Chains A and B, each alone.
Chain A
Amino acid sequence: MRKTLKMLLSFGMSLILAGASLTSAAASAGNGETYNYDVWGEAIPSQAGYIPDRAVSGSDIGAGSFDAPSDIFFDGSDSLYIADSKNDRIVVTDSGLTHSQGVYDRFIMPDGSRTKLKTPKGVYVSDYTGYIYIADSENERVLVATKDRMVVLEIKMPGSEMYTAPTFKPQRVLADKAGNIYVVLGNITTGAAMFSPKGEFMGFYGSNRVQPTAEIIGSFIRRLFMTEEKKSRRTRNVPTGITGFDIDGDFIYTCTASSTQKTDTVKKLNAAGKNIFAAKELSFGDNRPMYDASKSILMAPAITDIEVSADGCINCLDYTTGRIFQYDDECGLLFIVGEKSDQLGGFTSAAAVESCGNCLYVADSVKDTITVFRETPFGAAVHKANSLYNAGYYEEALEPWYEVLRHDGNYRRANLGVASALLRKGDYKGSMKYAKLAGSPEIYNKAFEGYRREFIRSHFTAIVLTLTGASAAAVLLHRRKKRRISRKEK
């Protein structure tokens, strides 16, 4: 624990030092002092997969400064939509963040009247319908509009009996292929509200489970003996509501920012709302959270935003530490970037993460900027190798994995990849070596099986000769001993 702390602290210190000469650090790619987790789940220094490139403010793109941007989104044609909350507008810019392509702040309703946004918290653009979906938080509605500012649909608080909450404060919004609209609402614990393409409320989707802690189990048992009146006055055990989500094909990924909840912080939901990650023992964010002694708080991870990139990587933004944890589609940790600081690459209040091409974009709602992280050569090598590996091309991934190991010999996934590839190739000895480094007894087992088979086959005569020789010697020795004893007794 203390070791990890020290490591994280020194990591933080060195990042601050590195921050002093950031322009040069940015120029020499891949030299950042970053960490990753080893086989034992301990933090070890690693190469940077991404380095901060620049931070872009609203005036940089010619749209006037942002005020508390809370969500960003890349549409299919690589335009970035920024929900500029306190300015009551949506700003659109190109992927290079060079100039503004438009500002959406007022729309035309179907009946011809005009309407303005008020604190839009989330924005989404569907590639299938081409509409812009806006979580218009203070107006308590979700707007679906064309890019020509014509409102197609306005979703207000549903009158349905199923909707029991007193408020309707949309935070995030997205739409699936069929045009169904999902809305994350503030103060709602039952999951995301789901609406049909026509705006009818269809129920809630993907609520979290209550984590079965000792306290909750105890109160459940006590509850069995309580009267209805007493029950109604007690606090209810409800799960934490989801904070953000993203859609990738048929799956919706949700994240939950809660410093107390450990289960279900990141979920992958299928169309039926079932969590595919539930069966796996997964944890997201820092393994052992750092304790900040100056503020006496435990830096427990709080994943505020999640994004699935085009190549299937899952980017989780941790508000507490300002770090982005990038996982591959099998939930293997790839990189950790970002920090909590005032320098470039650090965040005060990280709000949203997006990826486009080989860059990561993070919106900070206090610094009012969007920070761009650029992929390093190391990051590119890992991504290349990992996507080949996850697609099942183990042998093709071998050379990229060696490349990764040349950058960072401690990189666990690379050892795993090499071990799998060598096993497939039939190099059992090499596979055993790398499986041991990767801490994978399963691969080692398979490689050892092959190695043993080859060993027996090539040394068969020697083994048989040794065995017969040894047993003959044993028999002879035994006989001689017996003879000696019987002689003695005579």
Chain B
Amino acid sequence: MLDLSQRQWVKHAVVHPVEGFEDMRWKKSGSLRIAALIIVMLFFAQIAHSRLYGFQFGMPEQKTFNVFPYLVRSFVIFGAWVIGNWSVCTLLDGEGTARNICIYSSYALVPYIVQLYVNVGLSHILIQDEAVFMQAVSIIGTGWSVILMFSAIRSVHQYSAAKTFAAIALTIAAMLIMLFLLVLFLSLIQQMWIFLSTIYTELFYRTRT
């Protein structure tokens, strides 16, 4: 039973919100490569959603394209989620390894990503009055992903429902702390960089004359 290829496992996990991830855990399945692919797809989905959207649903937010917000919204946020969840759940007797958290969480994101692509497509077919269909797609996709994410965290750590809730709340708190420290660190680096470049410029001008 359940002799599935890695690709079929994605499908199985996505369409079986209750026991899909348990099955995956039981069979010790899941591929890091597919997980990486899913996150790359998320990255492109975010870009498509804000740049390739049908014009009747509004202009793109920025005049010029900047890749960094999209990198942050996909890779950085997901990375923070995995690291945050791993560090929180290691303390809370979770059984998941960082590898498994990464795989299970990314599989859970599939409906959300599909929803983004579907909506980009629909936005070129529908008009403003019919936006309710896109809203429905968006709500179903996002809601499904939330349920899957809950199920994924529950199975990967073998938690009870209540403990899963607590773990997710703590993970989000941990993510915020991490991102805050990251911003702090970056601005510090920037200050250092300005300081060093000023010294360099000063020396450069002085030695030249």
Of all chain B residues, the one with the shortest Cβ separation from A449 is B127
Assess whether A441 is interfacial by the CB under 8 Å rule.
Answer: yes
B59 with A441: CB separation less than 8 A: yes
Query: How far, in angstroms, from A49 to B43 measured CA to CA in the complex?
Result: 46
Stretch touching chain A among B50-58, B108-116, B173-181, B182-190:
B50-58
Query: How far, in angstroms, from A448 to B55 measured CA to CA in the complex?
Result: 9
B168 vs chain A, min Cβ distance (A): 35
Contact with B along A27-50 (1 / 0, CB 8 A): 000000000000110100000000
Contact with B along A436-448 (1 / 0, CB 8 A): 1001010011001
A485 vs chain B, min Cβ distance (A): 11
B202 vs chain A, min Cβ distance (A): 22
Assess whether B206 is interfacial by the CB under 8 Å rule.
Answer: no
Q: Which residue, of B56, B58, B59, B128, has the highest number of chain A Cβ atoms within 10 A?
A: B56
A444 with B55: CB separation less than 8 A: yes
Query: How far, in angstroms, from A445 to B128 measured CA to CA in the complex?
Result: 7
| A391-415 interface (Cβ within 8 A of B) | none
A200 vs chain B, min Cβ distance (A): 54
Chain B residues closer than 8 Å to A439, beta-carbon distance: 59
A406 vs chain B, min Cβ distance (A): 25
B56 with A445: CB separation less than 8 A: yes
Cross-interface CB contact of A42 among B56, B57, B59, B63, cutoff 8 Å: B63
Chain A residues closer than 8 Å to B127, beta-carbon distance: 445, 448-449, 452
Contact with B along A447-474 (1 / 0, CB 8 A): 0110010000000000000000000000
Chain B residues closer than 8 Å to A448, beta-carbon distance: 54-56, 127
Query: How far, in angstroms, from A439 to B60 measured CA to CA in the complex?
Result: 10
B59 with A39: CB separation less than 8 A: yes
Query: How far, in angstroms, from A42 to B128 measured CA to CA in the complex?
Result: 27
| B36-59 interface (Cβ within 8 A of A) | 54-59
Chain B residues closer than 8 Å to A42, beta-carbon distance: 63
A441 with B63: CB separation less than 8 A: no
Query: How far, in angstroms, from A39 to B63 measured CA to CA in the complex?
Result: 9
Assess whether A353 is interfacial by the CB under 8 Å rule.
Answer: no
| A7-59 interface (Cβ within 8 A of B) | 39-40, 42
Assess whether A435 is interfacial by the CB under 8 Å rule.
Answer: yes
Chain A residues closer than 8 Å to B128, beta-carbon distance: 441, 445
Query: How far, in angstroms, from A210 to B58 measured CA to CA in the complex?
Result: 33
A452 with B125: CB separation less than 8 A: yes
Query: How far, in angstroms, from A32 to B58 measured CA to CA in the complex?
Result: 34
A435 with B55: CB separation less than 8 A: yes
A444 with B56: CB separation less than 8 A: yes
B134 vs chain A, min Cβ distance (A): 14
Q: Which residue, of B63, B125, B127, B128, has the highest number of chain A Cβ atoms within 10 A?
A: B127
B55 with A436: CB separation less than 8 A: yes
Query: How far, in angstroms, from A432 to B57 measured CA to CA in the complex?
Result: 13
A444 vs chain B, min Cβ distance (A): 5
Query: How far, in angstroms, from A179 to B54 measured CA to CA in the complex?
Result: 55
| A33-91 interface (Cβ within 8 A of B) | 39-40, 42
A457 vs chain B, min Cβ distance (A): 15
A304 vs chain B, min Cβ distance (A): 32
Chain A residues closer than 8 Å to B63, beta-carbon distance: 40, 42
Chain A residues closer than 8 Å to B54, beta-carbon distance: 448
A441 with B58: CB separation less than 8 A: yes
Chain B residues closer than 8 Å to A40, beta-carbon distance: 63
A59 vs chain B, min Cβ distance (A): 50
Query: How far, in angstroms, from A44 to B180 measured CA to CA in the complex?
Result: 37
Contact with A along B78-104 (1 / 0, CB 8 A): 000000000000000000000000000
Chain B residues closer than 8 Å to A436, beta-carbon distance: 55
Of all chain B residues, the one with the shortest Cβ separation from A42 is B63
Query: How far, in angstroms, from A449 to B131 measured CA to CA in the complex?
Result: 13
B63 vs chain A, min Cβ distance (A): 4
B52 vs chain A, min Cβ distance (A): 13
Of all chain A residues, the one with the shortest Cβ separation from B125 is A452
Please name the 5 residue pairs, one residue from A and one from B, whose CB atoms are nearest each other, closest first.
A445-B56, A40-B63, A445-B128, A449-B127, A444-B55
Residues of B within 8 A of A (CB): 54-59, 63, 125, 127-128
Residues of A within 8 A of B (CB): 39-40, 42, 432, 435-436, 439, 441, 444-445, 448-449, 452
Known: A40-B63, A448-B54. 16 other contacts (CB 8 A): A42-B63, A436-B55, A439-B59, A441-B55, A441-B57, A441-B59, A441-B128, A444-B55, A444-B56, A445-B127, A445-B128, A448-B55, A448-B127, A449-B127, A452-B125, A452-B127
25 residue pairs from A and B, CB less than 8 Å apart: A39-B59, A40-B63, A42-B63, A432-B55, A435-B55, A436-B55, A439-B59, A441-B55, A441-B56, A441-B57, A441-B58, A441-B59, A441-B128, A444-B55, A444-B56, A445-B56, A445-B127, A445-B128, A448-B54, A448-B55, A448-B56, A448-B127, A449-B127, A452-B125, A452-B127
